Amino acid sequence: MGGYDEAYRRSIERPGEFWAEAARGIDWDVAPTTVHGDGRWFPDGRLNTCHNAVDRHVTAGRGEQPALIYDSPVTGAVRTITYAELRDEVARTAGLLRDLGVRAGDTVVIYMPMVPEAVIGMLACARLGAVHSVVFGGFAAGELAVRIDHARPKVVLSASCGIEPGRVVAYKPLLDAALAQAEHRPERCVILQRPQAVAELAEGRDLDWARAVREARPAGCVSVAATDPLYILYTSGTTGSPKGVVRDNGGHAVALHWSMAHVYGAAPGEVYWAASDVGWVVGHSYIVYAPLLAGCTTVLYEGKPVGTPDPGAFWRVVATHGVRTLFTAPTAIRAIKKEDPSGSFAKKWDLSGLRHLFLAGERLDPDTYHWASDLLGIPVIDHWWQTETGWPMAANCVGIETLPIRPGAPTKPVPGWDIRVLDPDGEECPPGVDGAVTVRLPLPPGSLPTLYRDDARFARSYLERYPGHYLTGDGGHLDADGYLYVMGRIDDVINVAGHRLSTGSMEEVIASHPDVAECAVIGVADELKGQLPVGFVVLKAGSERDPTDLERELTALMRERIGPVAAFRRAVVVSRLPKTRSGKILRATMRDIADGRPYGTPSTIEDPAALPEIARAMKRT
């Protein structure tokens, strides 16, 4: 395929030529004559993403190839669905949605566990040209209600329950509570009844998934413009209100199809496993769309890296299903390492077919890298991207040229991503000097064109600080050889086990407690999850609360309002928060204290004694 340097240079210097060539890997109803115009990719092209992910492989004679392997250790189920079977199930589910009035451009919210019907529901929306918005099943009713009000779905697809190790999580009561809170009223809800917890259906609103799909007539693929939206995926913003990242159809299909061969080195027919959840961007891009666009077999895993039943769970899936490429988060590998430091469970399985382990979602620390590399004896590849970008910005592109690995770096920018590190004045930082990691515009295909119903916030959040550049929100540096080092967030969004969560939304929850006067939440480095939230709380005058009881109440409140995904368990009572004279809480300095880094006392601080109190409180925790 040629070397990395050549591919990267061509993508930056001649992007029209580069992406026109990549677009030939996709079936178009109307082939684009313009590659990039008015800030959009392939603006005059028309296609259908579901056709490209499913139908075209059947037409090409590969209908009997497995498209999806569902492996669920929490239920003991394993199921293989071929491309032909997937096409038929998706067509019938799309027919059901059509019969419920869903048309191209309508939205559908999907609130599902890791079951095949979640994938089928996403593809069914794409088949009709409808816009899906998947909400992670771990989110509480309030978070779901906010997303329902913003997306305004015509239909909600859900299930009676999700299954965690040792417990069943009833989804239907959460959905009912969300719909009671939400102002928007979807016309229908379609509920997948799982035997572990059968839900009560509301007459006139709720339909039984299996029965409704069985009675539906199949629907064909609806042609849409390349610039029409495929999905909305909400990600946390620093204000606590969710940001709806929009993904278009054309650029998304081209970029993800290209990435499978060139970034991951995956070929049609191979088994590719992204051990994530369909509720996150990794699940959208690399459980559902990219592997199917590339004609691979994708694995849908309903389980955990440990405890379902042991730390050999991932290795069993790899060996049993012939996984060639595994993609997961460093958190998962750290959890396995914690439970099985000697790697004895991995040695029970034949892992000789596994070619690469890709890790993303948070920074890959060198210790975890070396442990996994020594255990598996294959390239362990850190790569870096975001919900907004939809696919990797920096990686070791093994399908082009495998470069030397440098622990701590996600290697170099992926072709198409013109990454620059800028100082506060917008000047490029010299090698080795930290700054704001940005991407020079235009962003390549597959990245977000805007935020749903909020173009102004899109510009304000990503484009205003450095004109002509996209602000990633991460800080870091490039070394003299062009390797990128991403050191962490420069805003107040924290990364818990690969899940981006807003500290602002957590502060809103804590502040709602009747005894809390003010608070601040920061992300503290954690060996297992990357970061964990810690709340610093100032009590109202006269409040005499036992700190342990208060911590327990705030933990329960956080679980109710945000969900267990927040992993909030630590609240520290202090007499004051460190602030500037203008009232801004010194969160960056607090993070330095919490993570044991040296810190100075800013000249603008209102009360210099506040920082030592934070340091003493952190030592106690």
- Per-residue pLDDT of 500-557, as tens digits, reads 677 777 887 898 898 987 788 988 888 888 889 999 998 887 788 998 999 999 999 9
Task: Tell how far CA 176 is from the center of its chain.
Answer: 25
Residue 583's pLDDT band (cuts 50, 70, 90): low
Tokens of 99: 């019969």
**Nearest 10 degrees: Cα torsion 577, 578, 581, 582:** -70
Tokens of 316: 């069993």
Q: Amino acid letter at 433?
A: V
Residue 238's pLDDT band (cuts 50, 70, 90): very low
Beta-bridged to residue 585, according to DSSP, are: 579
Q: How far apart are CA 544 and CA 388, in angstroms?
A: 44
Q: Report how many domains make up the chain.
A: 2
The residue from 372, 403, 438 where one domain ends is 438
Tell whether 408 and 540 lie within a shared domain.
no
**pLDDT in the model for residue 549:** 94
The residue from 396, 416, 438 where one domain ends is 438
Tell whether 595 and 511 lie within a shared domain.
yes
Q: Above 70 in pLDDT, residue 216?
A: yes
Q: Amino acid letter at 443?
A: L
- Per-residue pLDDT of 347-402, as tens digits, reads 999 999 999 999 998 778 778 899 999 999 999 999 999 999 999 999 999 999 99
- Per-residue pLDDT of 153-210, as tens digits, reads 999 999 999 998 889 999 999 999 999 999 999 999 999 999 999 999 999 999 999 9
Query: For position 139, which CATH number holds?
Result: 3.40.50.12780
Tell whether 59 and 182 lie within a shared domain.
yes
Task: Identify which of 493, 483, 519 has the alpha carbon closest to the alpha carbon of residue 617.
Answer: 519
User: For tokens 């962003």, what's the residue?
Assistant: 443
Residue 226, Cβ neighbours under 10 Å: how many? 27
Buried b / exposed e over 297-317, threshold 16 CB at 10 Å, is: bbbbbbbbbbbbeebbbbbbb
Q: What residue spans of 512-577 are helical by DSSP H?
A: 547-561
Task: Identify which of 586, 575, 546, 565 has the alpha carbon closest to the alpha carbon of residue 496.
Answer: 565
Tokens of 360: 């993303």
**pLDDT in the model for residue 621:** 67
Beta-bridged to residue 538, according to DSSP, are: 518
Range of the domain at 144: 4-303+383-438
Beta-bridged to residue 481, according to DSSP, are: none
Tell whether 431 and 537 lie within a shared domain.
no
**pLDDT in the model for residue 604:** 56
Instruction: Quote the mean pLDDT of the chain.
Output: 93
Tell whether 419 and 513 lie within a shared domain.
no
Q: How far apart are CA 274 and CA 264, in angstroms?
A: 11
In a domain? residue 580:
yes
In a domain? residue 245:
yes
Task: Tell how far CA 618 is from the center of its chain.
Answer: 30
Q: Above 70 in pLDDT, residue 581?
A: no
**Nearest 10 degrees: Cα torsion 357, 363, 364, 367:** -170
In a domain? residue 21:
yes
Tell me the pTM. Answer: 0.86
In a domain? residue 595:
yes
Residue 341, Cβ neighbours under 10 Å: how many? 10
In a domain? residue 578:
yes
**Do 358 and 402 touch, CB atoms closer than 8 A?**
no
